[in-house]
Structure 1
């Protein structure tokens, strides 16, 4: 099982985040910061990207990166999710 950092930037002011946040919640991702989520999954980054990109407009940005090593500071909830 891989550990992924997922970050998005919805460029349009007032854009509705519900679509992408609902999909991330359904995947049991952990909401880390702002528009950054942490996910444990057996999927490939490209499959996760394809699953989420339907929520985005053409000018929005999305990053799905597999994390092989990590460190946090003052983020106990993240560390608990990532270690668990």
Structure 2
């Protein structure tokens, strides 16, 4: 399994993006979501496969980024739960 960061800008105000969030959670049962438009997931898919699965749930003017993480990170300001998840999974 690999860790991926997913980031997005959803540019259509008032649109329901529940399908996108549901799909992210379906792709990985082990996920982190403490920032509005950023997720970190543990997944055995490639970044291209993740992007393709998620792009079905966004509009053509939205932006989506999927990046493989290489196990090092630094952060500030997260609660204990968020920090602990990152420490245990990155």
CA shift for structure 1 position 21: 0.6
**What residue number does 1:39 align with?**
41
Question: Residue 4 of structure 1 contacts residue 41 of structure 1 at CA under 8 Å; is this kept in 2?
Answer: yes
Q: Secondary structure at the match of 1:7?
A: strand
User: Is there any run of 5+ residues in structure 1 with no aligned partner, and where?
Assistant: none
**What residue number does 2:51 align with?**
49
Give a deviation string over 1:29-82, Cα, whole Å, max 9, x none.
221210111101121100100110100111100000111121121323333223
Aligned length in residues: 84
Q: Secondary structure at the match of 1:81?
A: helix
**What residue number does 2:83 align with?**
79
TM-score, length-scaled by structure 2 = 0.82
Question: Residue 51 of structure 2 contacts residue 66 of structure 2 at CA under 8 Å; is this kept in 1?
Answer: yes
CA RMSD for the aligned pairs?
Answer: 1.4
Q: Which runs of 4+ in 1 moved over 4 A?
A: none
TM-score, length-scaled by structure 1 = 0.87
User: Is there any run of 5+ residues in structure 2 with no aligned partner, and where?
Assistant: none
